[in-house]
Amino acid sequence: MSVQSPISSVNDFVVRFANVNGSGSASANELFARSILRHGVPVSPRNIFPSNIQGLPTWYEVRVTEDGHLGARGGVDMMVAMNPQTWDKDVASIEPGGYLFYDSTKPMPTSKFREDITVIGVPLTAITNSTYTDPRQRQLFKNIIYLGALCALLDLDPKLVEQLIGEQYKGKEKLLSSNVHALHLGRDWALQNLKCPIGLRVKKSDKVGDRIFVEGNSAAALGAVYGGATVCAWYPITPSSSVAEAFTSHCKKYRHDPETGKAKYAIVQGEDELASIGIVIGASWNGARAFTATSGPGISLMTEFIGLSYFAEIPAVIMNIQRAGPSTGMPTRTQQCDVIACAYASHGDTKHVLLFPEDPAEAFEFAAAAFDLAERLQTTIFLMLDLDIGMNHRLCRPLKWDDAKQYDRGKVMTAEMLEEGRDFGRYLDVDGDGIPYRTYPGTHPTKGSYFTRGTSRDRYARYSEEGAVYADNMQRLVRKFETAQDMVPRPLQANAAKPTKYGVLYFGSTSPAMDEAIGILEARGHQLDRMRIRAFPFHSSVASFIADHDFVYVVEQNRDAQLRQLIVNENGIDPVRLVPILHYDGTPITARFIANSIGDHQDHLKVTPLRKAVT
Amino acid sequence: MTYIAKPKFHHPGLKKNELGYTHRDYEGKISTLCAGCGHDSITASIIEACYELSIEPHRVAKISGIGCSSKTPDYFLGNSHGFNSVHGRMPSVLTGANLANRDLIYLGVSGDGDSASIGFGQFAHSIRRAVNMTYIVENNGVYGLTKGQFSATADRGSKSKKGVTNTDNAIDLVAIALQLGATFVARSFSGDKTQLVPLIAAAIRHKGASFIDVISPCIAFNNHAGSTKSFDYVREHNDAVNRLDVLVGRDPISVDYAPGTVQVVEQHDGSRLALRKLDADYDPHDRLGAQTFLQKHAAKGQIVTGLLYVDPDAEDLHTHLDTVETPLNTLDEQALCPGSAVLDKINASLR
């Protein structure tokens, strides 16, 4: 039997915390991730949590990555096993040569450990109980004590951790000093009793730069504030609730009139998703910028209204924080599984604009842009996030705003224009782009009013069931959708170092794993051009990218290759040319998965010459 | 027939209201409903109420769901924006519209299928939220557009035109509105315009959630013997608790009433409601009393009509949300966007 030597790695490893939901571990774990960032070393943390509030297992994984690979890596180098319930599975998931950190207050039988890992026991409960008497304090400070021990084991600079605690409890001196005390309790014990540091170490670097660390849902909500949203209606649903909650807290800070203190926004928690989208449609019809945030089941409930928005041409912004479906599916697991549901939501012939941000920075930008697009195109715009981007802190470029930017309120006929005698036909295509003018209710005493309905009507909004009139309108809506193609964010292409016959298409949260996979594939000798799709309808460059390659892989996080279906359907592409690479077990896609799947396919493509095979 | 243009000319001597508008300025397209439909009388009452209140027609937003009643906003206030939205979802659309611009008058028109069946939840929640609106249900107990199925307001034991007896209990929207905190609750009958017009006018002038249930017989499917929503039945069982006059501005209170029979209620906006008591015991400021009164009379098969409850000092959703006085839909980048300097600070806090 060969002896497994312990993993030795500086600034490149994965630590996973196994906790019990509701034990207060989340803030300590986040503190751990942030401390490493303060060392100038990028991290990518992920919450892996059940659909539950207290008692069930929950994990927090921190990928420490000097190279800046922000996708999930897979595998665990160090397990901080704080949950007896999941012990066996947690211990089994450690990479050979990895480390197990546990509370050694109660002795464990040797059968509970593995021979090929390093076991590090710290009597956390004993230290905690000898210091604190209050049960809640014992629970909370135990988390900080293990953080302190990790500080010593991974060679973190305690000053940087203290600094973070100081920022967190600014003005709350008592909490500040007690947290710092707990940190040192753990750190000192480890320094005195264990060999520190271990093979996994954090060393100061300068790879974080000016990047920020933020959750996608919060960034999207901030985008709504900057984009001028004044009405938000929502219904609680995981993983989207934190969008509305973040919007509420951003608005409280930035959207109150300085003189009167009154709110320049209205947020309503609806009785369901139907009411939420109804409120959004009503507010947008009346000229306010409005949005809702939801997830799969909510989208299903909203579809009738989405059809109305399409047909009656009313702006709406829907943020869909995707989770695994169908039905209730896996509410706390990530997927990109609502692409088709959103692209074609509702009965009849409908098509909708989708935006696919890759990270919180793009979530911010696209959220703000969604309101311009919704009003310009007078239709529903979907901002397609997912749980992986939405509910995890992600390192991303700083958010930017151009103060010279003015909102594009779209084609709105004003009282002055009506007075001038401009011809107003609510569904009249005056500019050839398929986009008609609208008026806000209450604009003019005698001109510009119209009756909005979901039934067919002519160019002047007069009720009509004439086939030709109906078809005329439906064709204009197609024209409008073509116009949208050049307004939405364009795909981004990056070519391989050497010319290649193969390409890859991907979108949204797959981005960091894809970037990393490209490097792995290159090392294996596979060259791939890549294109990140950022919106639907697809820009013409998507079709030309496919035409330029023999095979194009389409990487996505759903079972049915939904983006691929949409490309085949909308662009008339031969499906054979698009090879699906699908990850859909609810965990975020990894570079290893992509590289292995594409690599295996590429290897099969390599034809061995017959003569060589025979000899 | 909406495709038949209504002639625009009118008698030069047609009376004008305070703003110089004639009755015709409050009309809409020609109704496509059945001749004699109760809903057309409600349409006429809305026109009358808006004319009398001298409302600028374009300052009203009329919003409806789906059904016969929901078609009617096309037949009144032709210079107002209208929105024939989604079945049962008028309340949410109206709520959103109201949030966007608090300065317009919101008239929600719905039916019993729209509000008591598919849209029961939205009806309830818009009332709970105290949206400033006038919510009118044109209640005929039947689905007209799909030809005569029972709705949720059909009384238990009432017979359909095809002879089927309804075995489900009825929903009384007025009772629900009272329970959920509507601050203006009334019931009327489409066949009684003298009662209905002032109720609509008072509801429009009320700040808060106003709800009016108007029994409106369906001439095609629910006007037969055995129906409890027929013209004959409602006339026979109508128990009006009061009669109302709405007084706006300097109009003196009419002196026609016998002393002690008139109760004057001053609403938040200064309008006064002169209530002629028909039932000496009825107090329209007593929410609990109103609920008991309704239940007792319903048990006797009586349809209680009139102004059933009013809270003249009501608040609305905007009060609760503490929104700015300026309509949200007029706020621009200057007012809404925190700008790049703030964003820099936010970025700094995220490092």
- In tens, the pLDDT along A172-221 reads 999 899 999 999 999 999 999 999 999 999 999 999 999 999 999 999 99
Is residue B213 in some structural domain? yes
Superfamily the domain A214-396 falls into: Thiamin diphosphate (ThDP)-binding fold, Pyr/PP domains (3.40.50.970)
pLDDT of residue B253: 45
Q: Partners of B86 in the beta sheet?
A: none
Question: Could you give the CA distance from residue A324 to residue A329 in angstroms, rounded to a whole number?
Answer: 5
Strands (DSSP E) along A216-349, which ranges? 231-234, 266-269, 290-294, 316-322
Q: Partners of A324 in the beta sheet?
A: A330
Long-range contacts of B12-21 (CB under 8 A, 24+ apart): B17/B51, B17/B52, B17/B54, B18/B54, B19/B54, B19/B56, B21/B51, B21/B54, B21/B57
Range of the domain at B280: 23-325
Smallest CA–CA distance, residue B277 to chain A, in Å, is 38
Residue with tokens 């986040």: A30
Burial status of residue A541 (CB atoms within 10 A of its CB: 0-12, 13-18, 19 or more)? middle
B residues 270..329 contacting A (CB < 8 A)? 317-318, 321-325, 328-329
Question: Could you give the CA distance from residue A47 to residue A42 in angstroms, rounded to a whole number?
Answer: 17
From the list B91, B331, B346, which residue is nearest A399 (CB)? B346
Q: What CATH number is given for A9-201 in this structure? A: 3.40.920.10
Residue A182 neighbours by CB distance under 10 Å: 26
Instruction: Look up residue B113 and give its DSSP letter.
Output: I
Angle (CA) B313 B314 B315, round 5°? 125
Number of domains in chain B: 1
State both tokens at B205: 């002038």
CB-based contact B322 A263, cutoff 8 Å = yes
Instruction: Look up residue A243 and give its DSSP letter.
Output: H
CB-based contact B125 A265, cutoff 8 Å = no
Mean pLDDT of A341-363: 98
> Is pLDDT above 80 for A279?
yes
Smallest CA–CA distance, residue B163 to chain A, in Å, is 33
Q: Measure Cα distances from A530 to A170, A493, A506, A589 in Å.
A: 46, 6, 8, 17
Closest CA relative to residue A398, chosen from A144, A222, A175 = A222
From the list B81, B92, B350, which residue is nearest A214 (CB)? B350
Structure pTM?
Answer: 0.96
CA neighbours within 13 Å on the CB side: how many for B83? 33
B61 touching chain A per CB within 8 A: yes
Separation of CA A249 from chain center: 20
**DSSP 3-state of B281:** coil
What kind and span of H or E run contains B91?
Answer: helix B90-100
Angle (CA) B5 B9 B12, round 5°? 160
Mean pLDDT of A393-399: 98
Is residue B341 in some structural domain? no
State both tokens at A373: 């697009």
Q: Measure Cα distances from B166 to A93, B148, B159 in Å.
A: 63, 12, 6
**DSSP 3-state of A492:** strand
Q: Tell me the helices (H) and strands (E) count for chain B, helix number first.
A: 12, 13
Q: Are A24 and A139 in contact (CB under 8 A)?
A: yes
On the question of a common fold for A214-396 and A492-605, the answer reads: yes
Best residue in A39, A230, A392 for a mutation probing chain B (most B CBs within 10 Å): A230
Domain boundaries, chain A: 9-201, 214-396, 411-488, 492-605
Which residues have C-beta within 8 Å of that of residue A452, sequence separation ≥ 6?
A: A285, A312, A314, A426, A461, B81, B82, B83, B84, B85
Residue A93 neighbours by CB distance under 10 Å: 15
Strands (DSSP E) along B73-168, which ranges? 81-84, 105-111, 133-139, 142-143, 149-150
Question: Could you give the CA distance from residue B221 to residue B214 in angstroms, rounded to a whole number?
Answer: 17
Best residue in B31, B62, B81, B105 for a mutation probing chain A (most A CBs within 10 Å): B81
pLDDT of residue B258: 60
Chain A residue nearest residue B32, CA to CA: A463
Is residue B315 in some structural domain? yes
Question: Could you give the CA distance from residue A29 to residue A143 in angstroms, rounded to a whole number?
Answer: 8
Q: Measure Cα distances from B83 to B66, B74, B108 in Å.
A: 10, 9, 10
Best residue in A451, A462, A463 for a mutation probing chain B (most B CBs within 10 Å): A451
CB-based contact A405 B104, cutoff 8 Å = no
What would you report as the CA-atom Rg of chain B, rounded to the nearest whole angstrom? Answer: 21
Segments of chain B with pLDDT less than 50 = 1-2, 252-255
CA neighbours within 13 Å on the CB side: how many for A252? 5
What kind and span of H or E run contains A201?
Answer: strand A200-201
Question: Could you give the CA distance from residue B347 to residue B142 in angstroms, rounded to a whole number?
Answer: 59
Is residue B4 in some structural domain? no
Helix, strand, coil shares of chain A, percent, nearest 5, are 40, 20, 40
Question: Could you give the CA distance from residue A164 to residue A146 in angstroms, rounded to a whole number?
Answer: 16
Closest CA relative to residue A370, chosen from A430, A302, A284, A446 = A284
CB-based contact B329 A288, cutoff 8 Å = yes
Question: Could you give the CA distance from residue A377 to residue A310 in angstroms, rounded to a whole number?
Answer: 10
Instruction: Look up residue A6 and give its DSSP letter.
Output: P
Is residue B345 in some structural domain? no
Smallest CA–CA distance, residue A527 to chain B, in Å, is 36
> Is pLDDT above 80 for A608?
no
CB-based contact B346 A255, cutoff 8 Å = no
B331 touching chain A per CB within 8 A: yes
- Going by pLDDT thresholds of 50, 70 and 90, the confidence category of residue A609 is low
Domain CATH code at residue B54 = 3.40.50.970
CA neighbours within 13 Å on the CB side: how many for A120? 29
Closest CA relative to residue A420, chosen from A443, A447, A438 = A447
Question: Could you give the CA distance from residue A359 to residue A218 in angstroms, rounded to a whole number?
Answer: 11
From the list A257, A270, A449, which residue is nearest B79 (CB)? A449
* Range with the poorest average pLDDT among A145-159, A334-348, A379-393, B248-262: B248-262
Task: Looking at the structure, give the CATH architecture of the domain made up of residues A492-605.
Answer: 3-Layer(aba) Sandwich (3.40)
Question: Could you give the CA distance from residue A316 to residue A278 in angstroms, rounded to a whole number?
Answer: 10
Q: Are A452 and B82 in contact (CB under 8 A)?
A: yes
> Is pLDDT above 60 for A579?
yes
State both tokens at A470: 């109906």
State both tokens at A335: 């997927």
Pairing between strand B209-215 and B133-139?
parallel
Instruction: Look up residue B342 and give its DSSP letter.
Output: H
What kind and span of H or E run contains A80?
Answer: strand A76-81
- Going by pLDDT thresholds of 50, 70 and 90, the confidence category of residue A530 is very high
Average pLDDT, rounded, for chain A:
96
Burial status of residue A167 (CB atoms within 10 A of its CB: 0-12, 13-18, 19 or more)? exposed
From the list A212, A222, A286, which residue is nearest B329 (CB)? A286
CB-based contact A288 B101, cutoff 8 Å = yes
